[in-house]
Structure 1
Amino acid sequence: MLIDELCAGLLGISDPRNGERVVHVAAPREHFAYLGAHGRGMGDIVFCLRSGYQARNDPGPMFEITTPWAEFTSGHDHFWPLDPRLQSLMFAAGPAFAADGRPSRPRPIVDVAPTILAVLGIAPPPDIDGVTIESVLADPPPVPAAPSQPLEV
């Protein structure tokens, strides 16, 4: 199938300077449903680059090495969102959050969803990535029992 061949081709791209594989993951969009990357607006293939590489859409090299923590390290959504090295700033205010709450160490972005779920009093699904960032909560709420049926949105 053409999509499988294209995915394999993407996964085979290596950096000529060091031989390192550039593409972290490439697959048909349906494989990324759990990340919300499978709708009609998505291309047939979703690919994410390894940390430190940026895809370009303008004239110039197809991939560039970037410096993590010193510059933007990925182009238009080409990074792997579950990379544990990804970090983001989370600003939160309100009665559920501690006024001086700060995590003791940098936390991965996957910890944001469980933290928001805790604030809303919603039990996280059993297969969720990440954990609640307890140190930012004013009063860590007890985690309610998981619903017996999936929530409908």
Structure 2
Amino acid sequence: AQNHLWINLEGRDEGGIVPPDEYHALRSEILAAMRDLKDPETGEHVFAFALPREDAPVVGLWGPYIGDIVYCYAGGYRWSGPEVLRLGEERIVFPCGGGNHGPMIPTYETDVASVMGALFLVGPGVRSGVQPPKDEQARVCTTDVAPTLAYLLGIDAPAQNEGRVLREFLTDLHNERPPRTLRRTARAIRPRRTRKPRPITLQGDVTDEV
């Protein structure tokens, strides 16, 4: 992934070359270099943030598959090869007008585009031709999708959901009746009781009776 950096660690990675007792010191050195890296012309930091993996849950990343370092570029910077090939390796920071998929902060925008995702709502109860509001407080989040669909269906939103109903896109705003709850249409299958075998009393010639 473009916003993860892995240290090639002995005992963890195939062909690892960094001894485990040097891991934390090396990672701290890399983090310091990333946080100190600035554009020589503007003095702006190139990275919006750089975090060790144990601090990455604050940006929603965790687990065994994330990098040892998680980072995002500041607006106006991205990784690239053509500039280095064209301008040489003497300078490693080049401002740009675009971005990369993944290692950009979510609110980054240029004069012509942004890294925001796209949401399309079509169907009964949805207003036609509505554009999302520019107000930052009214931005649409992925957590808003489930409660909005639940509202249109007239059912309860997931109890653990943190989003809101996107009412600015809906025409079905009279849908204020008590929410319906989904009911089971199939009867639960109960496990059958295991019957105890009746004791068999054998008399006389056992072979004949069996």
Q: TM-score range by the shorter chain?
A: 0.5 to 0.7
For structure 2, the 5+ residue unaligned runs are: 1-23, 85-90, 110-114, 151-156, 177-210
The CA distance in 2 between the partners of 1:77 and 1:109, in whole Å, is: 23
The CA distance in 1 between the partners of 2:172 and 2:130, in whole Å, is: 11
State the match for 2:207 in structure 1.
none
By how many angstroms is 1:114 displaced? 3.5
The CA distance in 1 between the partners of 2:66 and 2:82, in whole Å, is: 20
Counterpart of 1:89, as a letter, is A
Bigger radius of gyration among the two? 2
Counterpart of 1:114, as a letter, is T
1:65 aligns with 2:65: no
For structure 1, the 5+ residue unaligned runs are: 68-72, 143-153
Q: Given the two structures, how large is their TM-score scaled by the length of structure 2?
A: 0.50
State the match for 2:179 in structure 1.
none
Q: Given the two structures, how large is their TM-score scaled by the length of structure 1?
A: 0.64
- Which of 47, 55, 68 is equivalent to 2:71? 47
1:122 aligns with 2:147: no
User: What per-residue deviation string (whole Å, max 9, x for no partner) do you get for residues 90-141 of structure 1?
Assistant: 222233532333223276896222320322323543xx7xx65431234357
Identity over the aligned pairs, expressed in percent?
A: 22
1:93 aligns with 2:115: no
User: What per-residue deviation string (whole Å, max 9, x for no partner) do you get for residues 36-95 of structure 1?
Assistant: 43333322101101111112367716443222xxxxx322411123x3755333222233
Counterpart of 1:122, as a letter, is P
State the match for 2:103 in structure 1.
78
Aligned residues: 133
Retained in 2: the 8 A contact 1:99–1:138? Answer: no
Stretches (4+) displaced over 4 A? 106-110
In the superposition, relative to structure 1, how do residues 40 and 96 fare at CA in structure 2: closer, same or farther (>3 Å)? farther
CA RMSD of aligned residues (A): 3.4
